[in-house]
Amino acid sequence: MRDGTMMKTVVRVTWRLLAVCLVVAALTAAVFAVTKEPIESGERARKEEAMRLFFPELSTYAEEKTTASGVNALYLVKDKDGGALGWCVDFSGNSDYGGEVAMMIGVSLEGKVTGLQVISHSETFIDRYLDKSGCYTGISAARGSDLSAGATLSYNAVRNAIDAVEQMGLGGVK
Amino acid sequence: MKGFLRQLKEGILDHNPTLVQLLGMCPTLATTTSVKNAIGMGLAATVVLIFSNLFISLLRKFIPKEARIAGFIVIISGFVTMVELLMKAFFYSLYQSLGIFIPLIVVNCIILARAEAYASKNKPLPSAVDGLAMGLGFTFALLLVSTVREIVGNGTFLGVSIFGKGYAPALLFVMPAGAFLTLGFVIAGVQKVRAVREERARAQARANEETKEATV
Amino acid sequence: MSFSDILLLMFTAILVENFIFAKFYGCCPFLGVSDKPDTALGMGMAVTFVMTLSGAATYLVYHLLLVPFHLEYLKTVAFILVIAALVQFIEMFLKRFVPALYASLGIYLPLITTNCAVLSAALLAVQNDLNFIGSVAFGFSSALGFTLAIVVFAGVRARLQFAEPPRAFRGFPITLIAAGLLAMAFAGFSGVRL
C-alpha cells in the first residue's frame, strides 16, 4: 500500500517536472531561432570592421585554405581593383585561464604582423588596456610588459597569436 | 494600484534585496566597476525576475511541491538563457562587458528567493510586480555601489570624465578589494539610516504614549 | 594538456585567480558560512567534492549531449540541472554517512546548488576549451581556492567577534571590509607567472 502511493508520487513529480522542462526548452529554442540571424550577422560585421581597421581600402576578401591551429579563417584582402592588400587572420587564442579571445590579426604582404584587434573577450578588466577601437597599439605594446595585472592572461593570448601567425609563413604574394 | 506602488517602494527601499536582505552579493561586487555595466546587469536581472516570477506564479499549482526548487531553477535558467541570447543579438557590447555574469544570473540568490517566498504563493500579476520591484531595488543597489567605484576609481561617470585630465584615479576601487570595501561602507550607511529612522519612530511612539497618558 | 600545464592551471586557480578574492564567485556562502572555522572547512570540503564531480559531469554532458545535437546554447540550463542533482545526491550521502557534518552545514548544503562558484567553474571550463582532465582539475583547484578563502576568512571573523566597530558597521559591513582587506592581500598574487 505504501509502495503504491510512493510510486505514484515519484511518477507525478517526474512527469510534471519533465513537462516544465519541455515548455522551457521550447521557449528557449524559439528565442534561439529568432536571434540566430542577428547574432551571426553581427559577428560578420564585427570581423569585417576589424579587417577594415588594418586595410582601409578593403573592398572584398576571399577566404583561403589553411590548416594552422587556432586559426578560424584566413582571408586575403583585396582592394576594389582586385589588388592584394594583405591578409587577415581570424584567430582564436586561449588566454590560458581567462577565456577564449577571438582576434583579428592584420598581416602585410611581406608576411609581417602589423596589428591585432580583439574581437571578443570575456575578461571584464581588460577594457582599460585597449584603445578606443579595441586595438593593442602596435606590436611593441603587445610584447611589452606594460599590460599589467588584470591583463597578464591576455598578454599570453596576444603573444601566442602573434607567434602562431608569424609561423604561418605568409608573404610574397602575386 | 496603491498596492502595486507600495510593492515598488518596498522593493526599492524597505526590503531592498541587496542592501537590506543582503542577497545577490556576487553580481553586486563583480559588475559594479562601471555604472553602465551595473545598470545593464540590473536591468537584465530585472527582466529575468519579472518573467520567472510571472511564469512560476502561473504554474504554481502545477510545479510539484517536492521538487519545487528544481522546477524553479529550470524555469529561471531558461529565461536567463533567453535574455543571454537576446543580449548577444541586440546589445552586444553590454553582453561582452558583462561576460560570464549573464548566465550567472541563474544563481542570483534574489531570483530564487523571490520565487520561493512570493511567486509560488501569489497570483501572477502581483508576482510580476514583485519581480519588477525587487529587480529595481537590486538595480538601485548596483547603481549606488558602481557610482562610487566609477567616480573614485576611474574619475568618470557613465564614461564621462568628471574631474578632468588631472585626476589620478584610486585604482583600488575598480579592483576586487575596492568592491568589498565600497559595498561594506554602503551597507553601513544603509544600516545607519535605518537605525536613525527606527530610533525616531520609537521616540515618536513614546511621545504619543506620553501625550495619551497626559490626556487621560 | 601536459602535466605541467595542469599544475599551472591549478596553481593559478587557487591563488592568482582565486574564485572569491579575484573573481567573486561563491560570495553568498562565503559571507554566510564563514563564521566558524570548522563549519567553513566542512563547507569547503563539500563544495570541493561537488565541484570536482561537476567538472567531470558537465564536461560529459556538454561534449556528449549538447554539442552533437547543436544545443550548446542550453548549457546553462543543463549544467545547473546536473549540479542540482549532484548536490541532492551528496545531501543524501552525508545524511546517511556523515550526519554530524550534515547537521552543521544545515541549509547551506542545498545552497551549494546556487553557489556561483560551481556553475562558474563549469562554464569557464567550457569557455576555455579544457579537456576532461583539465575540467576536473579546474573544478577541484578552484574549489580549493574557495576553501582556502573561506577558512582563512573564518579565522579573521572569529577574531572580529572581539572587536567593537561603530554600530552602523556591525554585522555585514565590517565583514565586507575585512574581506576587502583580504582581497588586497590576494591581489599581491596577480601577475605571478611561473
Distance, first Cα to last Cα, chain C? 16
How far apart CA C164 and CA C184 sit, in angstroms, is: 23
| Residue numbers of chain A with a pLDDT score lower than 50 | 1, 97-98, 122-153, 172-174
pLDDT of residue C191: 61
pLDDT of residue A171: 61
Please give the angle made by the CA atoms of C187, A119 and C74, to the nearest 5 degrees.
85
Based on C-alpha coordinates, what's the Rg of chain A? Answer: 23
Provide, as residue numbers in chain B, all residues whose Cβ is less than 8 Å from the Cβ of A21. 74
Provide, as residue numbers in chain B, all residues whose Cβ is less than 8 Å from the Cβ of A43. none
Question: Residue C185, SS3?
Answer: helix
Query: How does pLDDT run along chain C (194 residues), one tens digit per residue?
Result: 678 778 877 888 888 778 888 777 877 777 766 667 777 888 888 889 889 999 999 999 898 888 888 888 888 888 888 888 888 888 888 888 888 878 877 777 777 887 888 888 888 888 777 888 888 988 998 899 888 888 888 888 888 878 888 888 887 888 888 888 888 888 877 765 44
Of B30, B74, B89, nearest to A35 by CB-CB distance is B89
Of A28, A94, A149, nearest to C128 by CB-CB distance is A94
Q: Residue C161: which residues within 8 A CB-CB, separation 6 or more?
A: none
How far apart CA A62 and CA A69 sit, in angstroms, is: 19
Of C13, C127, C190, nearest to A100 by CB-CB distance is C127
Please give the angle made by the CA atoms of B149, C114 and B176, to the nearest 5 degrees.
20
Q: Which residue of A has its CA nearest to C124?
A: A99
Q: Residue A65: which residues within 8 A CB-CB, separation 6 or more?
A: A74
Cβ(A59)–Cβ(A97) below 8 Å = no
Query: How does pLDDT run along chain B (216 residues), one tens digit per residue?
Result: 778 888 888 888 888 988 888 888 888 888 888 898 899 999 999 999 999 999 999 998 888 887 788 888 889 999 999 999 999 999 988 887 787 788 888 888 889 888 888 888 899 999 999 999 999 999 999 999 999 988 888 888 887 888 777 777 788 888 888 888 999 899 899 889 888 988 999 999 988 888 888 876
Q: Residue A94 and residue C129: Cβ atoms within 8 Å?
A: yes
Partner A contacted by B31 (CB < 8 A): yes
pLDDT of residue A2: 54
Domain span including residue B37 = 2-215
pLDDT of residue A122: 41
Partner C contacted by A48 (CB < 8 A): no
pLDDT of residue B144: 92
Q: Residue C180 and residue B181: Cβ atoms within 8 Å?
A: yes
Provide, as residue numbers in chain B, all residues whose Cβ is less than 8 Å from the Cβ of C181. 177
Between strands A60-64 and A71-78, the pairing is antiparallel
Q: Where do runs of H (alpha helix) occur along B31-120?
A: 35-58, 68-90, 92-98, 109-117
How far apart CA B73 and CA B106 sit, in angstroms, is: 7
Query: Per the structure, how many domains does chain B have?
Result: 1
Of A24, A42, A120, nearest to B78 by CB-CB distance is A24
> Subunits that touch chain A (at least 3 Cβ pairs < 8 angstroms)?
B, C
How far apart CA A40 and CA C80 sit, in angstroms, is: 27
Q: Classify residue B170 by its DSSP letter.
A: -
Cβ(C22)–Cβ(B26) below 8 Å = no
Q: Residue B78 and residue A25: Cβ atoms within 8 Å?
A: yes
Cβ(C180)–Cβ(B177) below 8 Å = yes
Q: Residue C173 and residue B184: Cβ atoms within 8 Å?
A: yes
Residue ranges of A 116-145 with Cβ closer than 8 A to chain C: 122
Q: Which residue of C has its CA nearest to B113?
A: C114
Q: Which residue of A has its CA nearest to B76?
A: A24
How far apart CA C124 and CA C118 sit, in angstroms, is: 10
How far apart CA A103 and CA A71 sit, in angstroms, is: 10
Distance, first Cα to last Cα, chain A? 85
How far apart CA A66 and CA A74 sit, in angstroms, is: 7
Of C123, C173, C174, nearest to B103 by CB-CB distance is C123
pLDDT of residue A100: 60
Based on C-alpha coordinates, what's the Rg of chain B? Answer: 20
What is the residue extent of each domain of chain A?
A: 51-167
Quick one: residue A62, left, alpha or beta (phi over 0 = left, psi -120 to 50 = alpha)? beta
What is the tens place of the pLDDT at every residue in A124-150?
Answer: 333 334 444 444 443 333 333 333 323
pLDDT of residue A143: 33
How far apart CA C140 and CA C52 sit, in angstroms, is: 5
